[in-house]
Amino acid sequence: MDKRVQRGLRSRQVILDRAMNIASMEGLESLSVRRLATELEVSKSGVFAQFGSKEELQLATVRAAIDVFSARVIRPAMKAPAGIRRVEALAGSWLDYARQPVFEGGCFFISTAPEFDTRPGRVRDALASARRDWHTLYTTIVTEAQQLGQIRPDIDPADLAFVLDALARVAAEDAALLDDNLRYDRARQIITNRLRAAATDTAALDHDPH
């Protein structure tokens, strides 16, 4: 690869790393070319050349956060064997990501979604799409476990995925607001109980997930 292209990609990643961190603490609306240029001690024209507008910067930041979430939550969970173990791994990976956050403000999506949930536009669409994709993946993994005969046939996969995700999200929100990391332990135990209740055979869950 041309060295100039490599430098451009490295520069873009440095900008996005800082942008994700700022957005996790103060929201996507707090991002600006001027602020990033000042904090990173680079030229405004250099930052602007990478993105072109504030909205494009916000969209690129959302896409970068999706990549981080995938690397920290989804890929590790997919290493677990297909079935209820993978469902458990996905739930646990989500909790681990929230408990030991990559960004100073905690989970990027929990921090930024409320800014745009009632504001139509491309940024809202990008955040909503990421959320839908996450729910679809979660439901697919639960469905897979059900098809393997490890989750009871009377369980609705979308409902179970919704509940497991909601438990982790509430734990993350409460832990941050109340400064109480025990919320994660409580959520993990409730999730384990939910999975045991949904399992056709709890033997697959009788192990140390860590």
> What is the C-alpha separation between 110 and 148, in angstroms, rounded?
32
Q: Which of 108, 112, 30, 27 is nearest to 71 (CA)?
A: 108
What is the pLDDT, as a whole number, of residue 209? 53
Q: What is the dihedral of CA 132, 16, 34, 124, to 10 degrees?
A: 0
Calculate the alpha carbon distances from 21 to 29, 31, 96, 121, 129 in Å: 13, 10, 18, 22, 21
Q: Does pLDDT of 1 surpass 60? A: no
Judged against a pLDDT cut of 60, whether residue 5 lies above it is answered with no
Segment among 4-13, 63-72, 126-135, 181-190 with least mean pLDDT: 4-13
160 vs 167: CA distance, rounded Å: 11
3-201 belongs to which homologous superfamily?
Answer: Tetracycline Repressor, domain 2 (1.10.357.10)
pLDDT digits (tens, 9 = 90+) for 164-181: 999 999 999 999 999 999
Provide the pLDDT for residue 8.
60
Query: Averaged over 152-159, what is the pLDDT?
Result: 98
Mean pLDDT of 98-120: 92
